């Protein structure tokens, strides 16, 4: 599984000045991924940056009662707390933390055999965003496709893929012509590149960053991800690109 930290490697987690403003020790609700910090503790990685003290930040150091946090590692969560901004980091004193389902999630159920059942999901996080601020500067958003397979069956699911490409993804403009979509693929790890095994009750999760050239213009887009060469595990979701970070295109 690729962690959200790796998928967000291209994010400018440094502050960016914004027209918005939040006061010190500000109560906020944020959505993002809970990740172990390099120096211990926890970080909240936010694909859609939050405005704190005139700055847009994608990274919050999370502090609080860590009971149960380990089971939410790499998961999409909602965090409620108070944020303080220092010289080198923004810290959230977390009051409530819970795993939540992203908006607009797509879902299919697959039955590989009589005793195997898999639930396949795909979400865009966030599913509404804009690449630019109203003044033309970059918004700092890094949208992700979050693809999961949950083994609900009575035995493990063992895939032997035709190549070492594990995930195949595409993004097209809603209503656009076939063949005009942006495409990418994700290779497997160095060992056993063609094999994916999901144990009983296990979860396979992978993140795929969406670059600006995949959805360059405002409008609605359709994303599709599947295990390469296994069409039954394909799933779609939609997302919307706005004109600016404060303006959304019509539904």
Domain count for the chain: 2
Quote the pLDDT of residue 24. Answer: 58
pLDDT at 114 over 80: no
Q: Which of 66, 82, 99 is the last residue of a domain?
A: 99
Quote the pLDDT of residue 20. Answer: 40
Does residue 250 sit within a domain?
no
Q: How far apart are the C-alpha atoms of 69 and 71, rounded to whole Å?
A: 5
Could you tell me the CATH number of the domain that includes residue 170? 2.60.40.2360
Segment 185-243, tens digit of pLDDT: 988 765 555 567 777 668 888 899 999 999 999 999 999 999 998 899 999 999 999 99
Segment 72-87, tens digit of pLDDT: 998 999 999 999 887 7
For all residues of the chain together, what is the average pLDDT? 83
Q: Where are the alpha helices (DSSP H) in the chain?
A: 4-7
Could you tell me the CATH number of the domain that includes residue 30? 2.40.50
Q: Specify whether the backbone of 245 is left (phi greater than 0), alpha (psi in -120 to 50) or beta.
A: alpha
Does residue 155 sit within a domain?
yes
124 and 225 together in one domain: yes
Domain enclosing residue 34, as ranges: 4-99
Helix (H, G, I), strand (E, B), or coil: what is residue 82?
strand
Segment 37-70, tens digit of pLDDT: 887 899 999 999 988 877 888 889 999 999 999 9
Quote the pLDDT of residue 84. Answer: 87
Quote the pLDDT of residue 152. Answer: 82
pLDDT at 140 over 70: yes
pTM, entire model: 0.84
Burial 196-228 (b: 16+ CB within 10 A, else e): bebeeeeebbbbbbbeeebbeebbbbbbbbbbb
50 and 124 together in one domain: no
147 and 59 together in one domain: no
73 and 154 together in one domain: no
Q: How far apart are the C-alpha atoms of 210 and 59, rounded to whole Å?
A: 19
156 and 76 together in one domain: no
Helix (H, G, I), strand (E, B), or coil: what is residue 206?
strand
Does residue 251 sit within a domain?
no
β-pairing, 182-187 vs 116-125, is unpaired
77 and 178 together in one domain: no
Does residue 116 sit within a domain?
yes
113 and 224 together in one domain: yes
Q: Specify whether the backbone of 219 is left (phi greater than 0), alpha (psi in -120 to 50) or beta.
A: left
157 and 83 together in one domain: no
């Amino acid at each position: 599984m690729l962690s959200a930290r790796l998928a967000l490697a291209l994010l400018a987690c440094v502050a960016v000045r914004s027209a918005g403003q939040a006061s010190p020790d500000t109560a906020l609700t944020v959505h993002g991924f809970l990740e172990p910090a390099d120096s211990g503790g926890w970080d909240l990685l936010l694909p859609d940056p939050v405005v704190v003290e005139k700055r847009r930040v994608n990274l919050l150091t999370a502090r609080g009662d860590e009971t149960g946090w380990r089971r939410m590692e790499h998961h999409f969560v909602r965090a409620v707390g108070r944020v303080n901004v220092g010289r080198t980091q923004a810290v959230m004193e977390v009051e409530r933390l819970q795993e939540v389902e992203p908006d607009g999630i797509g879902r299919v159920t697959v039955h590989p055999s009589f005793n195997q059942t898999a639930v396949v999901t795909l979400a865009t996080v966030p599913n509404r965003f804009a690449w630019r601020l109203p003044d033309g500067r970059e918004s700092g958003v890094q949208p992700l496709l979050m693809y999961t397979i949950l083994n609900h069956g009575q035995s493990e699911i063992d895939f032997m893929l035709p190549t070492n490409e594990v995930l195949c993804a595409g993004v097209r403009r809603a209503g656009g012509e076939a063949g005009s979509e942006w495409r990418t693929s994700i290779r497997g790890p160095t060992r056993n590149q063609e094999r994916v095994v999901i144990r009983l009750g296990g979860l396979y999760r992978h993140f795929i960053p969406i670059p600006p050239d995949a959805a360059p213009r405002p409008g609605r887009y359709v994303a599709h991800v599947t295990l390469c060469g296994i069409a039954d595990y394909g799933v779609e979701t939609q997302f919307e690109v706005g004109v600016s970070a404060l303006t959304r295109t019509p539904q």
